[in-house]
Amino acid sequence: MTCYAQSSQIRQIRRKMREIMVNQAQSCDLKDLVQKFIPESIGKEIEKATSSIYPLQNVFIRKVKILKAPKFDLGRLMEVHGDYSEDVGVKLDRPAEEPAAEPTEVVGA
């Protein structure tokens, strides 16, 4: 915010910013939301929406915090990370572990 805007304008701008960010977060899933943060599309939308209240420039979202964790959906997780029907990897032959040497007590030390 700028020091030239009145406090009532600042409150209106913050209210509008919150509305836009909440609507964007609720309308898509976490992966799509992160993709919207990268090109600053939400910041541009905030600039357009608040231009009637006070002309803003260079609106950026610098910090994001998850207030409520999304529901865990195994199907969606597998969709994102790929569905591997077979085990991928190589089995290693490990030699059997040798028994550890028994500690001996040194008398007189």
pLDDT in tens, the chain (109 residues): 557 888 898 899 899 989 998 898 888 887 888 888 888 888 888 889 988 888 888 888 888 887 777 677 777 667 766 656 666 667 777 777 776 667 777 777 6
Q: Are the beta carbons of 42 and 36 closer than 8 angstroms?
A: yes
pLDDT of residue 21: 87
Q: 37 is in which domain, residue-wise?
A: 1-60
Could you give the number of structural domains in the chain? 1
**102 in a domain, yes or no?**
no
**27 in a domain, yes or no?**
yes
pLDDT of residue 15: 93
pLDDT of residue 40: 84
CA distances from 87 to 33, 79, 83, 90 (A): 32, 17, 11, 9
Dihedral sign of CA atoms 77, 82, 85, 86 in order = negative
**38 in a domain, yes or no?**
yes
pLDDT of residue 42: 86
pLDDT of residue 106: 76
**78 in a domain, yes or no?**
no
pLDDT of residue 71: 72
Long-range CB contacts (within 8 A, 24+) of 50-53: 50/12, 50/13, 50/16, 50/17, 53/9, 53/12, 53/13, 53/16
pLDDT of residue 30: 79
